[in-house]
Amino acid sequence: MRYLRYALLLVLIGYLLTGVKQVLPGERAVVRRFGRVVDLPGPGLWIGLPAGMDRADRVSIDLVRRVRVGYEPAAEENDLTTPPGQLLTGDHNLVNIQVMLDYAVGTGDDEIVDYVVQGDRVEGMIARAAEAALAEWVAGRTVDEVLIRGKTELPAILLQKTQALTEPYRLGVSIQAASVAYLLPPSEVKDAFDEVNRAQTAVRTREHVARQEASRLLSQAQEEKDTSEKMTSAYVKEQLVMARAEADAFLQRLKQYQQLRRDNPHILAAIWWDEIGKLFTQMKNNGRIDLLDNHLAGDGLDITVAPAMPKKR
């Protein structure tokens, strides 16, 4: 009888201990008493009523969870039916898509409670919403657009649309990130698509090279234009300086002439002979004239030169 009392005491202690739980850092607990939420304690030791009266569900609010949605390669190998994640494009081609969605539980009290209440439905609802968003996006585009732009455009679209589609169901989670893990045509036509992709890559490479060459030629033409404009500007400035100098020299000489003419009425003739002398000197240097002494002979002056005198350089 004594052993029975000890056994009953141990059972009672164990039952009472079901009302004690340790809430770890980064966790919150949702305490429901007879199904109604009564408390959301944070990290630490929680003590409540034993099982059957209180139920405490711990939720990690720092943990980021992942849902895989779409195509599974093993499904296509083992089954002749259409595998999950094989979607129809707008131009009636098939593509296989697999995406990953990362989600976390919200930090608000209502969000934590919603997550606990929804329980095992959360990941299934996220997967269904992502599949709907995927089907809509793929159906509105050609197979080339899907294969070429899918990995860059889909993550942002999935993040936004999946969150919007799950909001009415109050799952208590937020979609943190999305990524495309697999995006290829079915294996039966993969070789043909690969060939098309190689051809498109070659075209884009040639376009890139052509754009680079065009940019180089444009830059070269711009440099030549700038150089020509600088040389033209420098020449114009030089000519203006020379013209101003000549004008200043002429005005200075005119002023001198006007002053000298009052004292010497023949000054204009002197200036004329001075200029003629300069002209004859220049003509002589160019081989146009020579001294008459070089043309004196026994018969007198002979200015006929044959052959003509070469010009001096």
Together in a domain, 50 and 111 = no
Residue 305 has pLDDT above 60, yes or no: no
Structural domain includes residue 305 = yes
* Structural domain span for residue 123: 64-185
Q: Are strands 173-184 and 296-297 parallel, antiparallel or unpaired?
A: unpaired
pLDDT in tens, 193-239: 677 778 878 898 999 999 999 999 999 999 999 999 999 999 999 99
pLDDT in tens, 245-269: 999 988 888 887 777 777 777 777 7
Q: What is the structure's pLDDT at 307? A: 46
Q: What is the structure's pLDDT at 302? A: 56
Together in a domain, 73 and 171 = yes
Structural domain includes residue 191 = no
pLDDT in tens, 225-235: 999 999 999 99
Together in a domain, 118 and 169 = yes
The Cα–Cα gap between 46 and 56 comes to 9
Together in a domain, 174 and 81 = yes
Q: What is the structure's pLDDT at 306? A: 46
Higher pLDDT, 305 or 7: 7
Together in a domain, 117 and 86 = yes
Together in a domain, 73 and 176 = yes
Higher pLDDT, 172 or 119: 172
Token couple for 73 = 């390669």
Structural domain includes residue 207 = no
The Cα–Cα gap between 58 and 23 comes to 7
Angle at alpha carbon of residue 153, lines to 152 and 158, rounded to 5° = 120
Residue 270 has pLDDT above 70, yes or no: yes
Structural domain includes residue 210 = no
Structural domain includes residue 25 = yes
Hey, what's the torsion of the CAs at 156, 158, 160, 161, to 10 degrees? 150
Domain final position from 130, 152, 185: 185
What are the strands of the beta sheet with 27-33, ordered from one edge? 36-39, 27-33, 54-60
Structural domain includes residue 204 = no
Structural domain includes residue 239 = no
pLDDT in tens, 56-75: 888 888 889 999 998 887 76
Q: What's the pTM? A: 0.56
The Cα–Cα gap between 50 and 39 comes to 15
Structural domain includes residue 220 = no
Q: What is the structure's pLDDT at 56? A: 80
Angle at alpha carbon of residue 163, lines to 157 and 166, rounded to 5° = 130
Together in a domain, 132 and 86 = yes
Q: What is the structure's pLDDT at 53? A: 81
Total number of domains in the chain:
3
Together in a domain, 153 and 80 = yes
The Cα–Cα gap between 145 and 142 comes to 5
Together in a domain, 97 and 55 = no
Domain final position from 130, 164, 185: 185
Together in a domain, 22 and 35 = yes
Token couple for 14 = 């164990």
Together in a domain, 52 and 84 = no
Backbone angles phi, psi at 177, to 5 degrees: -160, 160
Q: Are strands 300-301 and 296-297 parallel, antiparallel or unpaired?
A: antiparallel
Together in a domain, 176 and 70 = yes
Domain final position from 165, 185, 205: 185
